[in-house]
Amino acid sequence: MRQQLWQRASWVAAASLMLLALQVLAHWVPPLQSPDELSHLIRVAGLADGQVRPTTEPNASTGNHFDIGLATLAQVHVPVIKDRNPPVSEDAVLAAKSQRWTGRMIFGEAPGAAIYMPVIYAPAAVGLAIGQALNWTVMDSYHLARLSSQLFCVTVMAIAAWIWLPPMLAWAVLLLPMSLFQMLSPVVDGPAHALTLLGLSLLMRLRMEPRAVWAWSTAACLLVLVTARLHLLPLLLVPLWWAWRRPWAADGADGVSGGDQARRTLVWAGASSLAGVLLWTAWAASTVGPAGAGHVCLGLVLAGVYADAGDMEPFPSGSD
C-alpha cells in the first residue's frame, strides 16, 4: 500500500513538472501557433461571452460572434505559422500586445470546433472570461485562457494517475514535443489527451471494481471524450462487453458489487454514454456546417500503450 501511494505521489509530482515545462514553452511560443487554433479560440471566445449554442449565419458556415480585439491579435500572430518572418510591422506587434477588448462583435466561422461539446472548452473559456471581467488586455486574457486549459489538463492527469497508475510509456507519449505543444494552447487537443488518460484509468479501475461510482464516472468521462474524438467510439462498448463476459465476484465478498448488480450498473452506464454520444453526433451532423477532416488522435496511441503494458489481458475464464 505504501509503495502504491509513493508511486501515485510520484506521478502527481511528474504532472506538476509537466505544468512547469508548459510554462517555459509558453514563454517562447507565440499565440495562435497551434493548427486551427483560431477556430478553437473563436469557439472559446463565444463560450466566454455566453454563446453556448453555435449559430449559422446566412451564406456562411457555423460559428459564433467574438470581440474584434481578438481578430487584431490573430492578424499579427497567425501569419507566423506560414512564415517565420511574416510581413508584420513592429508597430503592429506592439499594438496587438496592448490591444484591449472593444465590446464590438464580429462573426467568425468555426464549424470544426462547433461539433465538440462546450464542456471540453470550458477551462479555457473560464480563463478568457476572467481576463475580460478584469479588463485585462486581449493578450493577457489569452495567456490566462492558456493557463486555465493547462491546469485542467495537468489536474485531470494527476487524478488519472491516482485512480489507476498508467504505464510509464503512456507518460512518455504525453511528453512528446508535439503532445506538449498541443497541450500548450487553448484548443481541444490538450483536454482530449487528459480525458483519454482519465478514461483509460477509469476503465482499468472499473474492470477490477465494478462499483457504481466508477461505472458512472467512466460513462461521463467517455461521453465528453468521444464527442471530441469520435474514432474512440469503441471505448464505449467496453463496459457493455464486461457486463456480458466478466465473471464478477460474489456479493459482499470484498465490498464490490456482485454479478447481477454489477451487470445492471455497467449496462445502464454504458448504454447512457453511448446514447449521449449518438444523440450529440446526430445533432452536430444536422445543425453544424461543413467541417474539416479529422486526424488520428493521441487517444489511439495511449490505448495501445495500455494494452501493450499488459493491463488489458484476457479475462479469467469462468461461468457467466
Domain count, the chain: 1
Q: Residue 148: its pLDDT value, please?
A: 96
Number of H helices, E strands in the chain: 15, 3
Q: Which three cell numbers stand for residue 255?
A: 465490498
Assess contact for 179 and 193: CB atoms under 8 A: yes
Q: What is the pLDDT along the chain (320 residues), one digit of tens a residue?
A: 566 677 667 767 777 788 888 888 888 888 888 888 989 999 999 999 999 999 888 888 899 999 989 988 888 888 777 666 667 777 888 888 899 999 999 999 888 899 999 999 999 999 999 999 999 999 999 999 999 999 999 999 989 988 988 887 887 888 888 888 889 999 999 999 999 999 999 999 988 888 899 999 999 999 999 999 999 999 999 988 888 876 555 444 444 455 678 888 889 999 999 999 999 999 988 888 764 433 334 444 444 444 444 444 333 333 33
Q: Is residue 316 part of a domain?
A: no
Task: Quickly count: other Cβ atoms within 10 Å of residue 50's Cβ.
Answer: 8
Sign of CA dihedral 21, 25, 31, 33: negative
Q: Is residue 318 part of a domain?
A: no
Question: CA triplet 104, 110, 113: central angle to 5 degrees?
Answer: 120
Q: Is residue 317 part of a domain?
A: no
Q: Is 69 helix (H, G, I), strand (E, B) or coil?
A: helix
Cα(30)–Cα(319) distance, integer angstroms: 59
Task: Summarize the chain as % helix, strand, coil (round to 5).
Answer: 65, 5, 30
Q: Are strands 105-109 and 55-56 parallel, antiparallel or unpaired?
A: unpaired
Structural domain including 37 reads 2-308
Q: Residue 302: its pLDDT value, please?
A: 45
Q: Which three cell numbers stand for residue 236?
A: 464505449
Q: Is residue 42 part of a domain?
A: yes
How long a stretch of residues is the chain?
320
Q: Is residue 320 part of a domain?
A: no
List, edge to edge, every strand of the sheet that includes 62-67: 55-56, 62-67, 105-109
| DSSP codes joined into one string, 217-237 | HHHHHHHHHHHH-GGGGGGGH
Bridge partner list, 62: 56
Bridge partner list, 137: 100
Q: Residue 295: its pLDDT value, please?
A: 38
Tell me which DSSP letter residue 137 carries: B
Q: Is residue 62 part of a domain?
A: yes
Q: Residue 194: its pLDDT value, please?
A: 94
Residue 106's H or E segment, with its range, is: strand 105-109
